[in-house]
Amino acid sequence: MSKPAERWIGASVPRLEDLPLVTGRGRFAGDVDFPHQLHMRIVRSSLAHGRLISVDTAAARAMDGVVAVWTAADIADLPPIEFREGPIEKLAPYRQLVLAAERVRYVGDPVAAVFAEDPYIAEDAAECVVVEIEELEPVLDAAATPVEYRPGLDTESTICRQGYGDVDAIFADAATVVEIDVSIGRHSGVPLETRGAIGRYDAARDVLELHGAAKVPHRNRESLARMLGRSTAGVHLYEGHVGGGFGIRGEIYPEDVLVLVAAMRLGRPVKWLEDRREHMIAANQSRQQRHRIRAAVDGEGRVLAIDDDFFHDQGAYLRTHGSRVVDTTCGILPGPYRLPHYRVNGHVRMTNKTPCATYRSPGRFESNFARERLMDAVAERLGLSRVEVRRRNLIAPREMPFERPLVALGDDVVYDSGRYEALLDKALAHIGWDALERDVVSRRAAGEYFGLGLAIYVEKSGLGPTDGARVNIHTSGEIEVITGGASVGQGFETVIAQVCAEVLGSDYRQVRVIHGRTDRIEYGIGAHATRATVMTANAAAVAANKVRAKALDMAAQLLQADAADLDIADGRVVRKGEGEGASIGLGELAHHLRPTSPTRGDRDPGLTAEGWFNTSHMTYPYGVQIAVAAIDKDTGAVRIEKLLIAYDIGRAINPMLVEGQLVGGFAQGLGGSLLEEFRYDERGQPLSVTFADYLLPTAHDVPNVDVMLTEDAPSGVNPLGIKGAGEGGIAAAGAVIASAIDDALGSAGTITRLPITPQYLKATIDAARAAVRV
């Protein structure tokens, strides 16, 4: 039943976390209840921009079952929600208050909080809170001239500038300059489980607890402790099951702060569950950018310089990420191309829409779309094939590690390893690109709108700087790994168990992985930025290796052998090369190492160790996506007939889970490319507040995704050689779908914006046909 010890890494073993999930015994935020809890309901601004004249709570407070109704005045001592990475003085005035005071800046901006005995009463009472707002002109276009945000500050909160080389000189002398103006629509991660937060103050222990945490519990503990003026020792966060994270879940929002403050001040646990409409106006949105981007190209199709000026529609406030999405966009935009000269200005523009932050592949979905649209435009201008123009610009393996004088997520950009052209060739061969090009010719001749798309991209993963894990083997032989990581459903427990099992010569099903608990381990950076597997698995490997050494040392004494002659297989220490003979189980060794054990000698008690993995740089996986698309000329509907994701993961711990991440990510990317958009009317009223208006892709809409996983370029910056997969499927989805649809239209450069709607395609096709007739 057990596999040989060295075989757990790389094996597509089933997920350990599935049993409770598929048998309805998971514990999501909605499943967390405490005796005597109150229920919170938020009263939100119904206008996009206005002066808050008054909030009358008298009628609501008078209702039976209502315990309290708070406005900004009741929590005036609370600071705005802070940036996770620490204070940024210039951006501080753009932070969001827990409850709006004086101004409301988006539809959904919290202005009051109702606390009541049950959620029905809370919602009834919320309807009775009378909010008087003097409407002001909303700002809805991030590319328009900035206006006043608050006295002395305008709606351009900052400009992120990055670059290198002499861009102006290159453009002045360039053989060809290609310029495009492209936009990405506003969309976001929309998890099936909406947000939820349960605050509880345990006076017996003087501990404030937040349940329903996700993603970054340890980091949020620090922020919340600072905001609430408490010691981190008296604040604990608990992550349960998470019904989808995608970057938006697990950040600190006003509601998280409110349930904690209310739990303390009202002396009862406080539960808040977001409803879907709230989610669509209150949870972080993302993506909306407009890039005016140009390339200077030589006669051979080499891109010498890129100059990009882009506008990021940040929405009403800067939330926990500050300007990170824009920074990342700037740092990652050059992608897999050599690009000797580069300049980018990312304008962080405040508007009167829901605030934006990170959504799976932040900055890359956007920049890959802009850059790959540009590469297609370069190919068209020079009369080169789209494959060839990319090939001429790819960074070569001999140039690795490839340093760019850029920063992404606070990290200097150094591509650790990559064989980009080799992956391109494999992908083209795998999907049969040449034959598909012949199909394009024949199907177009038959009157079809049919085309191919291509995108090449570099992902980033494994954000440091560090991660720790503690491995503890119980006397039963069960292995517990306590991590500062977090699980948003990606298979975290399984991969960490696989790595520990491999190191410890045990079965991965013997490994229990703890995450998202600030009361079990002091530090943790959680699950974001495709970091969890890279960082936590390496840390777990360090800790497991220490435990292994201790186990072998203890066993050597008991078996009267040299530790170097021992190995661990099936959870038992054996002599190397001996199938039979004396052996001793890991549980027995833990027993010998218990504090009162006479055999432990002067060893520290416990078969346990802590390990840390430190890294100075991220690791950069990369991919090629190819799409085959057909457009129904009568309706404008798009069908993706084939979709290939070729992706170099360095080394896969569990290829099945990697594939799942890539396919799931692509499905979301398809949504942002063809279906999903948070739209607003001319007064800033949100138009996409239900699942009838915000169209998520369903099983009908997602094509079969062919995944080609390669391990040609193991990471050079971590001992396991692994790279991340969490965002590799979505990162280039917009780029490749746009490329394919553009090709299907037969008029390069037509697709300049996402999402691409059937109505737009139908109008485009009709206009082109009318032009031909004329």
Partner 1 sequence: MKPARFSYHLPATVDEAVALLAKLAPDDGRIIAGGQSLVPTMAFRMAQPPHLIDINGIAELNRIDVEGDIVRIGAGVRHAAFEAAGAVPGVTGVWLGQVVRHIAHYPIRTRGTFCGSVANADPASEWCCVVAALDGRVVAESASGTRRIAAADYFEGVMATSRRDDELVTAVELPLLPDGTRCGFAEFSRRPGDFAIAMAMTAYRLVDDLIVEARIAIGGAEPFPRRIAEAEAALNGQPPTAAVFAEVAAIAAAAVDPMEDSNNTADYRRSLVRAMTLRALEAAA
The site for partner 1 (CB under 8 A) is made up of 119-120, 123-124, 127, 275-277, 634-637, 675, 679, 681, 687, 690, 692-693, 695, 697-698, 700-701, 758-759, 762-763, 766
CB of 691 to partner 1, least distance (A): 10
373 and 751 Cβ atoms separated by less than 8 Å: yes
Least distance (Å) between residue 686 CB and partner 1: 11
Nearer to partner 1, 523 or 691 (CB): 691
DSSP letter at 615 equals -
Nearer Cβ to partner 1 (206/766) = 766
> Do residues 568 and 505 lie in contact, with contact meaning Cβ atoms separated by under 8 Å?
yes
Q: Report, in Å, the least distance between residue 642 CB and partner 1.
A: 20
Query: Pseudo-torsion of CA 243, 246, 250, 252, nearest 10°?
Result: -140
- Cβ 521 vs Cβ 484: under 8 Å: yes
Q: For the purposes of burial, counting CB atoms within 10 Å of the CB of 30, is it exposed (0-12), middle (13-18) or buried (19 or more)? A: middle
- Residue with token string 């003097």: 134
H/E segment holding residue 415: strand 411-415
Nearer to partner 1, 491 or 636 (CB): 636
Evaluate the omega torsion of the peptide bond into residue 269 and state whether it is cis, within 30 degrees of 0: no
Taking the complex as a whole, the smallest distance from the CB of residue 45 to partner 1 amounts, in Å, to 17
Question: Which of 372, 677 has the CB closer to partner 1?
Answer: 677
CA distance 237 to 218: 7
- Least distance CB 197 / partner 1 (angstroms): 16
Query: Judged by CB, which is closer to partner 1: 434, or 681?
Result: 681
Q: Which two tokens stand for residue 606?
A: 């416990």
Nearer to partner 1, 345 or 685 (CB): 685
For 706, the enclosing helix (H) or strand (E) is: strand 706-710
State the Cα–Cα distance between residues 62 and 421, nearest whole angstrom.
Answer: 70
Complex with partner 1: residue 175 or 767, whichever CB lies closer: 767
| Four-point Cα dihedral 200, 203, 206, 210, nearest 10 | 0
Residue 659: CB minimum distance to partner 1, A? 25
Kindly give the pairing relationship between strand 156-164 and strand 196-202. unpaired
Cα 285 to Cα 356: distance, rounded to the nearest angstrom: 4
Is the CB of 602 or the CB of 682 nearer to partner 1?
A: 682
**Three-state DSSP state, 325:** helix
**What whole-number distance in Å separates Cα of residue 283 and Cα of residue 191?**
10
CB 347 within 8 A of CB 311: yes
Q: Closest approach of Cβ 262 to partner 1, in Å?
A: 19
Q: Which helix (H) or strand (E) covers residue 770, if one does? A: helix 758-773
Main-chain phi, psi angles of 471, to 5 degrees: -105, 130
Minimum gap (Å) between residue 671 Cβ and partner 1: 10
- Contact by Cβ (8 Å): 487, 515: yes
As a whole number of angstroms, the distance between CA 597 and CA 590 comes to 10
CB of 313 to partner 1, least distance (A): 18
Give least dist CB 46 to partner 1, A: 13
